[in-house]
Structure 1
Amino acid sequence: MQYRRFGRTELAMPVLSCGGMRYQYKWQDMPWSGIPAEGQQNLEATIRRALEVGINHIETARGYGTSEMQLGRILPHLPRQELIVQTKIGPSADPKQFLAKFEQSMGYLNLEYVDLLAIHGLNTWEDLELSVRSRGCLEVCHQLVRQGRVRFVGFSTHGPTEVIIKAIQSGGFDYVNLHWYFVNQTNWPAIEAAAQQDMGVFIISPSDKGGKLYDPPAKLVQLCHPLSPMVFNDLFCLSHPQVHTLSIGAARPSDFDEHLRAVQLLDQVDELLPPILTRLEQALIDQVGEHYAKTWHQGLPRYDETPGQVNIPLILLLRNLVLAYDLVDYARGRYNLLGNAGSWLPGQRADKVDAKTLQPYLIHSPHRERIPALLQEAHRLLSGAEVKRLSQS
């Protein structure tokens, strides 16, 4: 395993982290008596495999159902000083409620302290205000640091880049968990802002939200050769020193194996990545033309500036991914979450407003005349049954 300094925390963070949202038994709290023995055995085997290969960062959340409770059965039997344990708690208007959830988490985890505590899902301006205002959730977190029950404080986010940057610039956080990978690099300015603040940077779900790369289409496999798409994406992320760790949401011990291949190749990124990146860029150009490929994102309104809250930037991005890389299942899954995922994937699908209504909001785009038709095309390509977030299933 390789390790990176996790920003100003000075923690030696493994470049792969053990995310805790897929090996748990249920997404809802339930009594310990309801956890089947084989489910707990799988979780413990996954944790032990992570530690065996040097992944000592174990990450979970109060919102991950039975994850904390199940982890609490194995954590007391592991060498505590060698672990980096993180949990996350959603923001609350009532800081007492936030503190109560923290106490619940600690009770489940069977720990005296956690190394990392994140405000979970800081996705909107309202979430940010609840967190950073006087006597808000962040103040509770800092009190817990002074009490020795938390070492460092961060936040996780699925929100707009502007919200993320504002939270980073508040100065109250030591690290950030965010989305950024090859197929969606929107949050790069937030990563740069975090680097300026010397914050740790943790990438959420690089294989799933990064393109469902555990089940890649044949075209993407060919474009990424000689690497698998999963290994390519890991190396793409970790080739940037501002990125410190990637969360591997392992459901079973073997889920680490492909990612470990990426770690072995980290010293070869300068040789391996450029030809793949060139092929991927050319694949998009071949489908949409060079001018559009390089400028499609310019001047687009945010979803909350658009009639019907149509998420134009995301929809056009998903269209690109289908045309260039055949990422159909991934794009359809994301598209059909729109309208059902709240602040975790905001905005609406392209059928929620008449195309002509959008025209005045596209005046800053070099493709303003084309975009209404492209949105209609994207809807035809991607529409299907509505999808719910995994935690809602």
Structure 2
Amino acid sequence: MLYRRFGRTNLAMPVFSCGGMRYQYKWQDTPWAEIPADNQHNLEATIHQALALGINHIETARGYGTSELQLGQILPKIRREKLIVQTKVSPTANSVEFSKTLEQSLNNLNLDYVDLLGIHGINNAELLDQTLRPGGCLEVAQQFQAQGRVRFIGFSTHGPLEIILPAIESGQFDYLNLHWYYINQTNWPAILAAQKQDLGVFIISPTNKGGMLNQPPARLMELCQPLSPMVFNDLFCLSHPQVHTLSIGAAHPEDFPEHLKTLELLSQADTILPPILHRLNQALIETLGQDWCETWTQGLPDYTEVPGQINIRTILWLRNLALAWGLVDYGRMRYNLLGNGSHWFPGEQAKDLECISHQQLQQCLQNSPQREMIPQLLVETHQLLGGAAQKRLSQS
């Protein structure tokens, strides 16, 4: 295993982490007596396999249902100094409630302390304020830290840069978990800001949210040759030294080997990646047109500025991925979260466009060089990707 310094924590972090959101029994809290033995055996086998490979960072959250409780049956049996344990707790308006939830996390894990505590899901201004304001959730976390029950404090986010950057620049955090991978590089300025503050950088779900790469479409497989899309994406991410670790959302012990192929390729990344990157870019241009590829993001309104809160940017992004690289199933999964994802994946689908006048939509798009095309593209994208409403995993 390869390790990187995790920012100012100085922890030697494996470049792959064992994320804890896919091997648990349920997304809802469940009494220990009701958790099936075979599920627990699978979880423990997954942890043991991770450790055997040198992946000693075990990451979970209070919001991951039975994950903490199940980990609490195995982690205390492992030499504590061999582990880097992270859990995450969502901010609340009432800091007493946050304290109780954090206490429950530590009790579930059956550990005296966690190495890393993340304030989970700082996705909008309200949640950032609940975290940073005097008497807020960060102060509670710092109290646990003063008691020796938390070593380092960070945050996780699915939010936009206008939320992530102020959180980083507050100087209050040691690390962050965020989304950044080949198909979505929007948060690169946040990674550079984290580097400037010497924060550890953990990439959330690069395989699933990075394109459902455990089930890649034939078109993407062709474009990523000689690598699998999963290995290409891992190599792309880890070729940037500002990135310290990628989460492997392992559901079974067998989920690690494909990722590990990346390690032997890192020294050759400068040779391996450019031809693949060129093919992917050419596929975008050949499918969508060079003018579209160069200008489609320009002048797009935030979803909060669009009648009906239609998330135009996200919808067009998913269209690009589906048409150019065959990521139709991924596009459907993400598109049908719109309207159901709350602040984790905000905004609405394009299904109600008929309720918005052409004049209203053109007013929103007045700064876009593609304003004449976009209304019809939104309709076409809904026809391509629309379907049954999706729920976040934690809602399932």
> Over residues 181-207 of structure 1, what are the superposed CA-to-partner deviations in whole Å (9 max), with x where a residue is unaligned?
111111111111111111111000001
CA contact (8 A) 1:14 1:54 kept: yes
Q: TM-score, normalised by structure 2?
A: 0.98
Matched with 1:258 is: 258
Match of 1:382 among 357, 367, 385: 385
Matched with 1:86 is: 86
Displacement of 1:264 in angstroms is 2.0
Task: State yes or no: 1:190 paired with 2:193.
Answer: no
> Over residues 360-389 of structure 1, what are the superposed CA-to-partner deviations in whole Å (9 max), with x where a residue is unaligned?
111221211211111111111111111111
Displacement of 1:352 in angstroms is 2.8
Displacement of 1:355 in angstroms is 6.0
> Over residues 149-198 of structure 1, what are the superposed CA-to-partner deviations in whole Å (9 max), with x where a residue is unaligned?
11110111111121111111111111110111111111111111111111
CA contact (8 A) 1:355 1:372 kept: no
Matched with 1:281 is: 281
Displacement of 1:351 in angstroms is 2.0
What is the SS of the residue equivalent to 1:86? strand
- What are the within-5 Å matches in structure 2 for residues 179-258 of structure 1? 179-258=179-258
Displacement of 1:82 in angstroms is 1.4
C-alpha change, 1:223 and 1:355, in structure 2 (3 Å) is: farther
Q: Which one is further off, 313-322 or 350-359?
A: 350-359
The aligned amino acid for 1:208 is N
Displacement of 1:306 in angstroms is 1.4
How far, CA to CA, are the matches of 1:142 and 1:237 in structure 2?
31
How far, CA to CA, are the matches of 1:83 and 1:220 in structure 2?
36
Q: TM-score, normalised by structure 1?
A: 0.99
Q: Which one is further off, 52-61 or 256-265?
A: 256-265
How far, CA to CA, are the matches of 2:173 and 2:352 in structure 1?
37
Matched with 1:40 is: 40
How far, CA to CA, are the matches of 1:87 and 1:119 in structure 2?
9
What is the SS of the residue equivalent to 1:209? coil
Matched with 1:303 is: 303
Displacement of 1:8 in angstroms is 0.9
The aligned amino acid for 1:364 is N
The aligned amino acid for 2:374 is I
Q: Which one is further off, 29-38 or 226-235?
A: 29-38
How far, CA to CA, are the matches of 2:184 and 2:361 in structure 1?
24
- What are the within-5 Å matches in structure 2 for residues 106-125 of structure 1? 106-125=106-125
How far, CA to CA, are the matches of 1:363 and 1:129 in structure 2?
32
- What are the within-5 Å matches in structure 2 for residues 46-195 of structure 1? 46-195=46-195
What is the SS of the residue equivalent to 2:115? strand
The aligned amino acid for 2:37 is A
RMSD: 0.9
Mark the runs of 5 or more structure 1 residues left unpaired by the alignment.
none
Aligned residues: 393
How far, CA to CA, are the matches of 1:355 and 1:166 in structure 2?
36
Displacement of 1:390 in angstroms is 1.1
> Over residues 331-379 of structure 1, what are the superposed CA-to-partner deviations in whole Å (9 max), with x where a residue is unaligned?
0110011000100100000123336121111122121121111111111
Matched with 2:344 is: 344
What is the SS of the residue equivalent to 2:176? strand
How far, CA to CA, are the matches of 1:28 and 1:264 in structure 2?
39
The aligned amino acid for 1:82 is K
How far, CA to CA, are the matches of 1:236 and 1:313 in structure 2?
24
CA contact (8 A) 1:95 1:137 kept: yes
Displacement of 1:282 in angstroms is 0.2
Task: State yes or no: 1:392 paired with 2:391.
Answer: no
Match of 1:358 among 357, 361, 384: 361
How far, CA to CA, are the matches of 1:170 and 1:360 in structure 2?
36
Matched with 1:372 is: 375
> Over residues 298-334 of structure 1, what are the superposed CA-to-partner deviations in whole Å (9 max), with x where a residue is unaligned?
1111111211111111101000001110100000110
> Over residues 111-141 of structure 1, what are the superposed CA-to-partner deviations in whole Å (9 max), with x where a residue is unaligned?
0000000011111110000000001001111
Q: Which one is further off, 353-362 or 270-279?
A: 353-362
How far, CA to CA, are the matches of 1:170 and 1:310 in structure 2?
31
CA contact (8 A) 1:355 1:373 kept: no
Q: Which one is further off, 15-24 or 305-314?
A: 305-314
> Over residues 244-299 of structure 1, what are the superposed CA-to-partner deviations in whole Å (9 max), with x where a residue is unaligned?
10000100001011101112211111111000000000000001111211221111
